[in-house]
Protein backbone atom coordinates (compact mmCIF):
# COMPACT_ATOMS: atom_id res chain seq x y z
CA UNK A 1 0.00 0.00 0.00
CA UNK A 2 2.87 2.40 0.76
CA UNK A 3 4.20 1.86 -2.74
CA UNK A 4 0.85 2.60 -4.38
CA UNK A 5 0.27 5.74 -2.30
CA UNK A 6 3.83 6.85 -2.94
CA UNK A 7 3.46 6.44 -6.68
CA UNK A 8 0.21 8.36 -6.73
CA UNK A 9 1.56 11.27 -4.72
CA UNK A 10 4.87 11.35 -6.54
CA UNK A 11 3.06 11.38 -9.86
CA UNK A 12 0.61 14.09 -8.88
CA UNK A 13 2.81 16.51 -6.93
CA UNK A 14 5.90 18.39 -8.14
CA UNK A 15 9.00 18.03 -5.97
CA UNK A 16 11.03 21.03 -4.90
CA UNK A 17 14.73 21.25 -5.65
CA UNK A 18 15.56 21.79 -1.98
CA UNK A 19 13.66 18.79 -0.69
CA UNK A 20 12.69 16.00 -3.09
CA UNK A 21 10.11 14.77 -0.59
CA UNK A 22 8.41 18.15 -0.23
CA UNK A 23 5.71 19.26 -2.65
CA UNK A 24 4.65 22.89 -2.36
CA UNK A 25 3.81 23.25 1.37
CA UNK A 26 3.11 19.55 1.94
CA UNK A 27 5.83 17.48 3.63
CA UNK A 28 5.63 13.82 2.66
CA UNK A 29 6.60 10.91 4.95
CA UNK A 30 10.33 10.16 4.98
CA UNK A 31 9.87 6.54 3.86
CA UNK A 32 7.65 7.44 0.91
CA UNK A 33 9.31 6.36 -2.37
CA UNK A 34 9.43 9.20 -4.90
CA UNK A 35 8.89 8.10 -8.50
CA UNK A 36 11.24 10.29 -10.49
CA UNK A 37 10.46 10.85 -14.17
CA UNK A 38 13.89 9.48 -15.15
CA UNK A 39 13.50 6.24 -13.20
CA UNK A 40 12.91 3.50 -15.77
CA UNK A 41 9.95 1.16 -15.66
CA UNK A 42 11.16 -2.44 -15.53
CA UNK A 43 10.74 -4.43 -18.72
CA UNK A 44 8.96 -7.68 -17.85
CA UNK A 45 10.95 -10.88 -18.36
CA UNK A 46 8.86 -12.45 -21.12
CA UNK A 47 9.53 -16.03 -22.21
CA UNK A 48 8.46 -16.24 -25.84
CA UNK A 49 7.76 -19.01 -28.32
CA UNK A 50 6.03 -19.33 -31.68
CA UNK A 51 4.37 -22.58 -32.68
CA UNK A 52 4.62 -23.95 -36.24
CA UNK A 53 0.97 -22.94 -36.78
CA UNK A 54 1.86 -19.31 -36.07
CA UNK A 55 0.52 -18.97 -32.50
CA UNK A 56 2.67 -16.59 -30.44
CA UNK A 57 3.15 -17.54 -26.77
CA UNK A 58 4.30 -15.09 -24.09
CA UNK A 59 4.72 -16.16 -20.46
CA UNK A 60 5.67 -13.84 -17.59
CA UNK A 61 6.49 -15.25 -14.18
CA UNK A 62 5.12 -12.89 -11.52
CA UNK A 63 5.52 -14.30 -8.04
CA UNK A 64 4.08 -12.90 -4.84
CA UNK A 65 0.40 -13.65 -5.33
CA UNK A 66 -0.62 -17.24 -6.24
CA UNK A 67 -2.81 -16.16 -9.15
CA UNK A 68 -2.58 -16.29 -12.94
CA UNK A 69 -4.14 -14.45 -15.87
CA UNK A 70 -4.50 -16.30 -19.17
CA UNK A 71 -5.44 -14.43 -22.35
CA UNK A 72 -5.92 -15.56 -25.91
CA UNK A 73 -5.87 -12.36 -27.97
CA UNK A 74 -6.91 -12.60 -31.62
CA UNK A 75 -6.20 -9.73 -34.00
CA UNK A 76 -9.28 -8.45 -35.82
CA UNK A 77 -12.25 -7.85 -33.56
CA UNK A 78 -14.89 -5.37 -34.69
CA UNK A 79 -12.72 -4.32 -37.64
CA UNK A 80 -13.41 -7.76 -39.15
CA UNK A 81 -17.12 -6.99 -39.42
CA UNK A 82 -18.45 -6.24 -42.87
CA UNK A 83 -20.83 -3.35 -43.66
CA UNK A 84 -23.80 -5.73 -43.53
CA UNK A 85 -22.90 -7.19 -40.12
CA UNK A 86 -21.99 -4.31 -37.77
CA UNK A 87 -21.10 -5.45 -34.28
CA UNK A 88 -20.97 -9.14 -35.21
CA UNK A 89 -17.66 -9.63 -33.38
CA UNK A 90 -19.25 -8.58 -30.08
CA UNK A 91 -21.98 -11.19 -30.42
CA UNK A 92 -19.41 -13.78 -31.45
CA UNK A 93 -17.37 -13.02 -28.34
CA UNK A 94 -20.43 -13.21 -26.08
CA UNK A 95 -21.61 -16.48 -27.62
CA UNK A 96 -18.25 -18.22 -27.13
CA UNK A 97 -19.16 -18.72 -23.45
CA UNK A 98 -22.38 -20.58 -24.26
CA UNK A 99 -20.71 -23.96 -24.61
CA UNK A 100 -18.23 -26.14 -26.49
CA UNK A 101 -18.32 -29.57 -28.06
CA UNK A 102 -17.49 -31.12 -24.69
CA UNK A 103 -18.77 -28.60 -22.13
CA UNK A 104 -22.07 -26.76 -21.79
CA UNK A 105 -22.15 -23.10 -20.79
CA UNK A 106 -22.88 -23.99 -17.15
CA UNK A 107 -20.07 -26.56 -17.26
CA UNK A 108 -17.62 -23.87 -18.36
CA UNK A 109 -18.77 -21.53 -15.60
CA UNK A 110 -18.53 -24.25 -12.96
CA UNK A 111 -15.03 -25.28 -14.05
CA UNK A 112 -13.75 -21.70 -13.96
CA UNK A 113 -15.36 -21.01 -10.59
CA UNK A 114 -13.74 -24.17 -9.26
CA UNK A 115 -10.39 -22.69 -10.23
CA UNK A 116 -11.19 -19.57 -8.20
CA UNK A 117 -11.62 -17.29 -11.17
CA UNK A 118 -13.82 -16.18 -14.02
CA UNK A 119 -14.13 -16.43 -17.81
CA UNK A 120 -14.46 -13.25 -19.84
CA UNK A 121 -14.74 -12.67 -23.57
CA UNK A 122 -14.96 -9.43 -25.48
CA UNK A 123 -14.39 -7.64 -28.76
CA UNK A 124 -12.61 -4.33 -29.38
CA UNK A 125 -11.94 -2.58 -32.69
CA UNK A 126 -8.66 -4.49 -33.21
CA UNK A 127 -9.01 -7.66 -31.17
CA UNK A 128 -11.17 -10.40 -29.75
CA UNK A 129 -10.13 -11.81 -26.37
CA UNK A 130 -10.84 -14.98 -24.42
CA UNK A 131 -9.54 -14.56 -20.90
CA UNK A 132 -9.57 -16.55 -17.69
CA UNK A 133 -8.06 -15.88 -14.31
CA UNK A 134 -7.72 -18.00 -11.22
CA UNK A 135 -5.42 -19.84 -8.89
CA UNK A 136 -1.96 -20.46 -10.29
CA UNK A 137 -2.19 -24.13 -9.27
CA UNK A 138 -5.10 -24.46 -11.71
CA UNK A 139 -3.16 -23.13 -14.70
CA UNK A 140 -3.42 -26.40 -16.71
CA UNK A 141 -7.20 -26.35 -16.34
CA UNK A 142 -7.42 -22.67 -17.27
CA UNK A 143 -5.32 -23.25 -20.39
CA UNK A 144 -7.53 -26.18 -21.32
CA UNK A 145 -10.67 -24.07 -20.94
CA UNK A 146 -9.28 -21.33 -23.19
CA UNK A 147 -8.28 -23.87 -25.83
CA UNK A 148 -11.69 -25.53 -25.63
CA UNK A 149 -13.54 -22.23 -26.11
CA UNK A 150 -11.28 -21.05 -28.92
CA UNK A 151 -11.21 -24.30 -30.86
CA UNK A 152 -14.49 -26.05 -30.12
CA UNK A 153 -17.18 -23.46 -29.34
CA UNK A 154 -20.53 -24.98 -30.31
CA UNK A 155 -22.92 -21.99 -30.33
CA UNK A 156 -26.04 -23.89 -29.19
CA UNK A 157 -29.33 -22.45 -30.44
CA UNK A 158 -30.69 -21.65 -26.98
CA UNK A 159 -27.44 -19.97 -25.97
CA UNK A 160 -27.32 -17.85 -29.13
CA UNK A 161 -30.93 -16.80 -28.57
CA UNK A 162 -29.99 -15.65 -25.05
CA UNK A 163 -26.99 -13.71 -26.36
CA UNK A 164 -29.15 -11.99 -28.97
CA UNK A 165 -31.80 -11.06 -26.40
CA UNK A 166 -29.15 -9.56 -24.12
CA UNK A 167 -27.60 -7.71 -27.06
CA UNK A 168 -30.97 -6.11 -27.86
CA UNK A 169 -31.31 -5.04 -24.22
CA UNK A 170 -27.79 -3.62 -24.16
CA UNK A 171 -28.37 -1.71 -27.40
CA UNK A 172 -31.60 -0.25 -26.06
CA UNK A 173 -29.83 0.83 -22.87
CA UNK A 174 -26.89 2.27 -24.80
CA UNK A 175 -29.14 4.30 -27.07
CA UNK A 176 -30.64 6.00 -24.02
CA UNK A 177 -27.15 7.15 -23.01
CA UNK A 178 -26.13 10.41 -24.73
CA UNK A 179 -22.44 9.60 -24.24
CA UNK A 180 -22.84 6.40 -26.28
CA UNK A 181 -24.89 8.18 -28.93
CA UNK A 182 -22.18 10.84 -29.22
CA UNK A 183 -19.36 8.28 -29.43
CA UNK A 184 -21.18 6.27 -32.10
CA UNK A 185 -21.89 9.36 -34.20
CA UNK A 186 -18.33 10.63 -33.76
CA UNK A 187 -16.81 7.36 -35.03
CA UNK A 188 -19.23 7.18 -37.94
CA UNK A 189 -18.56 10.78 -38.99
CA UNK A 190 -14.77 10.65 -38.56
CA UNK A 191 -14.08 7.25 -40.11
CA UNK A 192 -16.85 7.07 -42.69
CA UNK A 193 -16.79 3.70 -44.48
CA UNK A 194 -13.64 2.53 -42.68
CA UNK A 195 -14.26 -0.48 -40.36
CA UNK A 196 -13.63 1.72 -37.32
CA UNK A 197 -16.72 3.73 -38.23
CA UNK A 198 -18.92 1.14 -36.49
CA UNK A 199 -18.67 0.58 -32.72
CA UNK A 200 -21.87 -1.36 -32.00
CA UNK A 201 -24.43 -3.65 -33.62
CA UNK A 202 -27.82 -2.55 -34.88
CA UNK A 203 -31.13 -4.21 -34.11
CA UNK A 204 -31.15 -5.65 -37.64
CA UNK A 205 -27.60 -7.03 -37.40
CA UNK A 206 -28.42 -8.69 -34.07
CA UNK A 207 -31.50 -10.34 -35.57
CA UNK A 208 -29.44 -11.64 -38.49
CA UNK A 209 -27.01 -13.63 -36.31
CA UNK A 210 -27.39 -17.42 -36.46
CA UNK A 211 -25.66 -20.36 -34.80
CA UNK A 212 -24.36 -21.57 -38.13
CA UNK A 213 -23.00 -18.15 -39.02
CA UNK A 214 -21.22 -17.91 -35.68
CA UNK A 215 -19.68 -21.37 -36.11
CA UNK A 216 -18.41 -20.54 -39.59
CA UNK A 217 -17.02 -17.14 -38.63
CA UNK A 218 -15.41 -18.40 -35.43
CA UNK A 219 -13.34 -20.87 -37.45
CA UNK A 220 -12.42 -18.17 -39.97
CA UNK A 221 -11.60 -15.41 -37.49
CA UNK A 222 -10.15 -17.35 -34.55
CA UNK A 223 -6.96 -18.84 -35.95
CA UNK A 224 -3.46 -19.35 -34.55
CA UNK A 225 -1.51 -17.15 -36.95
CA UNK A 226 -3.55 -14.15 -35.76
CA UNK A 227 -3.31 -14.98 -32.06
CA UNK A 228 -1.28 -14.41 -28.92
CA UNK A 229 -1.50 -16.72 -25.91
CA UNK A 230 -0.43 -14.66 -22.90
CA UNK A 231 0.05 -16.09 -19.41
CA UNK A 232 1.06 -13.86 -16.48
CA UNK A 233 1.32 -15.03 -12.89
CA UNK A 234 2.98 -17.36 -10.42
CA UNK A 235 3.82 -20.00 -13.02
CA UNK A 236 6.79 -21.89 -14.47
CA UNK A 237 7.22 -20.58 -18.04
CA UNK A 238 8.68 -23.87 -19.30
CA UNK A 239 5.73 -25.87 -17.97
CA UNK A 240 3.20 -23.40 -19.36
CA UNK A 241 4.84 -23.37 -22.79
CA UNK A 242 4.88 -27.17 -22.96
CA UNK A 243 1.20 -27.34 -22.00
CA UNK A 244 0.32 -24.65 -24.53
CA UNK A 245 2.05 -26.60 -27.29
CA UNK A 246 0.04 -29.69 -26.40
CA UNK A 247 -3.30 -27.86 -26.33
CA UNK A 248 -2.83 -25.50 -29.27
CA UNK A 249 -0.25 -27.21 -31.47
CA UNK A 250 -2.78 -28.78 -33.86
CA UNK A 251 -5.07 -25.73 -33.97
CA UNK A 252 -5.78 -24.23 -37.37
CA UNK A 253 -8.31 -21.90 -38.92
CA UNK A 254 -10.76 -22.51 -41.72
CA UNK A 255 -11.10 -20.58 -44.96
CA UNK A 256 -9.40 -17.31 -45.75
CA UNK A 257 -8.52 -15.03 -42.84
CA UNK A 258 -10.07 -11.54 -42.82
CA UNK A 259 -7.63 -8.89 -44.07
CA UNK A 260 -6.25 -6.32 -41.62
CA UNK A 261 -8.01 -2.97 -41.52
CA UNK A 262 -6.44 -0.41 -43.88
CA UNK A 263 -4.84 2.66 -42.38
CA UNK A 264 -7.50 5.31 -41.74
CA UNK A 265 -7.18 8.64 -43.51
CA UNK A 266 -8.06 12.05 -42.11
CA UNK A 267 -11.18 13.51 -43.75
CA UNK A 268 -10.61 16.61 -45.84
CA UNK A 269 -12.16 19.94 -44.97
CA UNK A 270 -12.47 22.31 -42.08
CA UNK A 271 -14.23 22.16 -38.73
CA UNK A 272 -17.77 20.82 -38.70
CA UNK A 273 -20.34 20.40 -35.96
CA UNK A 274 -22.90 17.60 -35.98
CA UNK A 275 -25.91 18.07 -33.67
CA UNK A 276 -27.98 15.07 -32.60
CA UNK A 277 -31.31 16.14 -31.20
CA UNK A 278 -32.31 14.87 -27.76
CA UNK A 279 -35.48 16.84 -27.00
CA UNK A 280 -35.93 17.84 -23.37
CA UNK A 281 -32.34 17.09 -22.38
CA UNK A 282 -30.99 19.42 -19.68
CA UNK A 283 -27.39 18.70 -20.68
CA UNK A 284 -25.36 18.52 -23.85
CA UNK A 285 -22.65 15.93 -24.46
CA UNK A 286 -19.75 17.24 -26.51
CA UNK A 287 -17.14 15.10 -28.28
CA UNK A 288 -14.39 16.95 -30.14
CA UNK A 289 -11.48 15.39 -31.99
CA UNK A 290 -9.38 14.34 -34.93
CA UNK A 291 -7.52 11.26 -36.11
CA UNK A 292 -4.34 10.54 -34.18
CA UNK A 293 -1.08 8.90 -35.32
CA UNK A 294 -0.11 5.25 -35.30
CA UNK A 295 1.25 4.06 -31.96
CA UNK A 296 4.50 3.22 -33.75
CA UNK A 297 4.85 6.85 -34.89
CA UNK A 298 7.70 9.04 -33.65
CA UNK A 299 4.97 11.44 -32.46
CA UNK A 300 3.54 8.97 -29.93
CA UNK A 301 5.57 9.93 -26.85
CA UNK A 302 5.19 13.66 -27.37
CA UNK A 303 1.46 13.27 -27.93
CA UNK A 304 1.06 11.29 -24.69
CA UNK A 305 2.61 14.18 -22.77
CA UNK A 306 0.65 16.78 -24.73
CA UNK A 307 -2.65 15.08 -23.96
CA UNK A 308 -1.76 14.71 -20.28
CA UNK A 309 -1.07 18.45 -20.10
CA UNK A 310 -4.15 19.32 -22.15
CA UNK A 311 -6.87 17.12 -20.66
CA UNK A 312 -5.60 13.79 -19.37
CA UNK A 313 -5.21 14.53 -15.66
CA UNK A 314 -7.02 16.41 -12.92
CA UNK A 315 -4.40 19.14 -13.08
CA UNK A 316 -4.72 19.45 -16.87
CA UNK A 317 -5.64 22.69 -18.58
CA UNK A 318 -9.04 21.51 -19.80
CA UNK A 319 -10.13 20.27 -16.39
CA UNK A 320 -8.91 23.38 -14.61
CA UNK A 321 -10.67 25.61 -17.13
CA UNK A 322 -14.05 23.92 -17.54
CA UNK A 323 -14.44 22.50 -14.05
CA UNK A 324 -12.42 24.55 -11.59
CA UNK A 325 -12.55 28.04 -13.12
CA UNK A 326 -15.80 28.12 -15.11
CA UNK A 327 -17.86 25.47 -13.31
CA UNK A 328 -19.38 24.34 -16.60
CA UNK A 329 -19.02 20.59 -16.00
CA UNK A 330 -17.93 18.10 -13.37
CA UNK A 331 -15.74 15.71 -15.35
CA UNK A 332 -14.31 16.95 -18.65
CA UNK A 333 -11.32 15.18 -20.10
CA UNK A 334 -9.34 14.17 -23.15
CA UNK A 335 -7.28 11.24 -24.32
CA UNK A 336 -5.84 9.15 -27.12
CA UNK A 337 -7.43 5.98 -28.44
CA UNK A 338 -4.57 3.94 -29.85
CA UNK A 339 -5.72 1.68 -32.68
CA UNK A 340 -3.75 -0.46 -35.13
CA UNK A 341 -4.93 1.56 -38.15
CA UNK A 342 -4.99 5.02 -36.45
CA UNK A 343 -7.16 5.92 -33.51
CA UNK A 344 -8.47 9.24 -32.30
CA UNK A 345 -7.47 12.23 -30.19
CA UNK A 346 -10.65 13.44 -28.54
CA UNK A 347 -12.03 15.74 -25.86
CA UNK A 348 -15.30 15.13 -24.04
CA UNK A 349 -17.58 17.03 -21.69
CA UNK A 350 -21.18 16.91 -20.48
CA UNK A 351 -22.32 20.48 -19.88
CA UNK A 352 -25.44 22.47 -19.07
CA UNK A 353 -27.52 23.60 -22.04
CA UNK A 354 -26.99 27.26 -21.31
CA UNK A 355 -23.18 26.95 -21.47
CA UNK A 356 -22.88 24.55 -24.41
CA UNK A 357 -21.52 27.18 -26.77
CA UNK A 358 -19.27 28.70 -24.12
CA UNK A 359 -17.89 25.25 -23.22
CA UNK A 360 -17.08 24.40 -26.81
CA UNK A 361 -15.42 27.79 -27.18
CA UNK A 362 -13.19 27.04 -24.17
CA UNK A 363 -12.30 23.62 -25.60
CA UNK A 364 -11.24 25.30 -28.83
CA UNK A 365 -9.30 27.89 -26.82
CA UNK A 366 -7.34 25.22 -24.95
CA UNK A 367 -6.68 23.25 -28.14
CA UNK A 368 -5.36 26.40 -29.81
CA UNK A 369 -3.25 27.31 -26.77
CA UNK A 370 -1.60 23.89 -26.90
CA UNK A 371 -0.90 24.32 -30.61
CA UNK A 372 0.51 27.86 -30.42
CA UNK A 373 2.43 28.05 -27.12
CA UNK A 374 4.94 25.79 -25.43
CA UNK A 375 4.07 24.24 -22.06
CA UNK A 376 5.85 25.36 -18.92
CA UNK A 377 8.67 23.42 -17.28
CA UNK A 378 6.32 22.57 -14.42
CA UNK A 379 3.70 21.17 -16.81
CA UNK A 380 6.31 19.02 -18.56
CA UNK A 381 7.60 17.60 -15.28
CA UNK A 382 4.15 17.01 -13.86
CA UNK A 383 2.87 15.30 -17.02
CA UNK A 384 5.83 12.91 -17.02
CA UNK A 385 5.19 12.06 -13.37
CA UNK A 386 1.49 11.49 -13.93
CA UNK A 387 2.00 9.32 -16.99
CA UNK A 388 4.85 7.22 -15.63
CA UNK A 389 3.30 6.94 -12.17
CA UNK A 390 -0.07 5.72 -13.39
CA UNK A 391 1.62 3.31 -15.80
CA UNK A 392 3.73 1.90 -12.97
CA UNK A 393 0.67 1.36 -10.79
CA UNK A 394 -1.24 -0.38 -13.59
CA UNK A 395 1.60 -2.86 -14.09
CA UNK A 396 1.67 -4.02 -10.46
CA UNK A 397 -0.95 -6.75 -10.92
CA UNK A 398 -0.98 -9.75 -13.26
CA UNK A 399 -4.20 -8.59 -15.02
CA UNK A 400 -2.76 -5.08 -15.44
CA UNK A 401 0.47 -6.37 -16.93
CA UNK A 402 -1.47 -8.76 -19.17
CA UNK A 403 -3.61 -5.85 -20.40
CA UNK A 404 -0.53 -3.83 -21.32
CA UNK A 405 1.26 -6.69 -23.07
CA UNK A 406 -1.92 -7.49 -25.00
CA UNK A 407 -2.29 -3.89 -26.17
CA UNK A 408 1.33 -3.69 -27.25
CA UNK A 409 1.09 -6.91 -29.26
CA UNK A 410 -2.09 -5.84 -31.03
CA UNK A 411 -0.43 -2.54 -31.97
CA UNK A 412 2.66 -4.31 -33.29
CA UNK A 413 5.00 -3.40 -30.41
CA UNK A 414 7.28 -5.61 -28.32
CA UNK A 415 7.17 -5.99 -24.51
CA UNK A 416 10.40 -3.99 -24.34
CA UNK A 417 8.30 -0.90 -25.11
CA UNK A 418 7.36 -0.82 -21.41
CA UNK A 419 10.97 -0.35 -20.36
CA UNK A 420 11.48 2.37 -22.96
CA UNK A 421 8.62 4.50 -21.62
CA UNK A 422 10.66 6.70 -19.30
CA UNK A 423 13.51 7.11 -21.78
CA UNK A 424 11.10 8.04 -24.57
CA UNK A 425 9.29 10.65 -22.46
CA UNK A 426 12.56 12.11 -21.18
CA UNK A 427 13.56 12.95 -24.75
CA UNK A 428 10.35 14.88 -25.45
CA UNK A 429 10.90 18.65 -25.53
CA UNK A 430 8.49 21.52 -25.10
CA UNK A 431 8.85 22.21 -28.82
CA UNK A 432 7.83 18.60 -29.54
CA UNK A 433 4.67 19.01 -27.47
CA UNK A 434 3.76 22.19 -29.33
CA UNK A 435 4.49 20.53 -32.70
CA UNK A 436 2.27 17.48 -32.16
CA UNK A 437 -0.46 19.64 -30.61
CA UNK A 438 -0.51 21.77 -33.75
CA UNK A 439 -1.12 18.63 -35.79
CA UNK A 440 -3.49 16.61 -33.60
CA UNK A 441 -5.26 19.35 -31.61
CA UNK A 442 -6.05 21.57 -34.57
CA UNK A 443 -9.36 23.16 -33.64
CA UNK A 444 -9.79 24.48 -37.19
CA UNK A 445 -10.08 20.91 -38.51
CA UNK A 446 -11.85 19.27 -35.59
CA UNK A 447 -15.02 17.22 -35.78
CA UNK A 448 -17.58 18.13 -33.11
CA UNK A 449 -20.55 15.98 -32.13
CA UNK A 450 -23.09 17.55 -29.78
CA UNK A 451 -25.94 15.50 -28.35
CA UNK A 452 -28.64 17.61 -26.72
CA UNK A 453 -31.82 19.61 -27.17
CA UNK A 454 -31.19 21.02 -30.64
CA UNK A 455 -33.73 23.80 -30.22
CA UNK A 456 -31.76 25.13 -27.26
CA UNK A 457 -28.16 24.59 -28.37
CA UNK A 458 -28.12 25.08 -32.14
CA UNK A 459 -28.02 28.88 -31.91
CA UNK A 460 -25.25 28.72 -29.28
CA UNK A 461 -23.08 26.54 -31.50
CA UNK A 462 -23.70 28.38 -34.78
CA UNK A 463 -20.93 30.99 -34.32
CA UNK A 464 -18.38 28.22 -33.74
CA UNK A 465 -18.75 26.30 -36.99
CA UNK A 466 -21.07 24.88 -39.62
CA UNK A 467 -23.70 22.82 -37.79
CA UNK A 468 -25.44 19.88 -39.44
pLDDT tens digits in sequence order for the chain, 468 residues long:
333 333 333 333 333 333 333 333 334 444 434 444 456 788 999 999 999 999 999 999 999 899 999 999 999 999 999 999 999 999 999 999 999 999 999 999 999 999 998 999 999 999 999 999 999 999 999 999 999 999 999 999 999 999 999 999 999 999 999 999 999 999 999 999 999 999 999 999 999 999 999 999 999 999 999 999 999 999 999 999 999 999 999 999 999 999 999 999 988 888 999 999 999 999 999 999 999 999 999 999 999 999 999 999 999 999 999 999 999 998 899 999 999 999 999 999 999 999 999 999 999 999 999 999 999 999 999 999 999 999 999 999 999 999 999 999 999 999 999 999 999 999 999 999 999 999 999 999 999 999 999 999 999 999 997 666
Residues 6+ apart with CB under 8 A from 220: 253, 254, 255, 256, 257, 258
CATH architecture of 46-248: 2-Layer Sandwich (3.30)
Residues 6+ apart with CB under 8 A from 192: 267
State the DSSP H helix or E strand holding residue 185, giving kind and residue range, or none if neither: helix 178-191
Give the strands of the sheet with 127-135, arranged side by side: 46-50, 56-61, 227-233, 67-75, 127-135, 118-123
Of 185, 257, 245, nearest in space to 220 by CA: 257
Return the CATH number of the domain spanning residue range 272-467.
3.30.830.10
Q: How far apart are CA 260 and CA 334, in angstroms?
A: 28
Q: How far apart are CA 231 and CA 21, in angstroms?
A: 38
Domain spans of the chain, in order of start: 46-248, 272-467
- Assess whether the region 46-248 and the region 272-467 belong to the same CATH fold: yes
CA contacts within 13 A on the Cβ side of 130: 28
Model pTM score: 0.89
Query: Do 148 and 100 touch, CB atoms closer than 8 A?
Result: yes
Of 230, 219, 181, nearest in space to 73 by CA: 230
Amino acid sequence: MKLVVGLLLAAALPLSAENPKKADSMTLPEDLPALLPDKPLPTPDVVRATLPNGLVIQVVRKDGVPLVSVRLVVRGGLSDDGPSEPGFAQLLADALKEGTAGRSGPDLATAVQGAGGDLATGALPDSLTIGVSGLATKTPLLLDLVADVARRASFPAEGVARVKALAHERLETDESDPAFVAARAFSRALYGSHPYGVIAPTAASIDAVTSEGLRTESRRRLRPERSLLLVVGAVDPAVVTAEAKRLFGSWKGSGEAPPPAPEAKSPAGTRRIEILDRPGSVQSVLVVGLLGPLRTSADAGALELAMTIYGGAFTSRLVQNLREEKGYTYSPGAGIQWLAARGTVRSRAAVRNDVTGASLGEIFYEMTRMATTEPTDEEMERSRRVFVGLKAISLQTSPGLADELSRLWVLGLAPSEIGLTTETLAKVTKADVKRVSKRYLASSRALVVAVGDAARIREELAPLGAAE
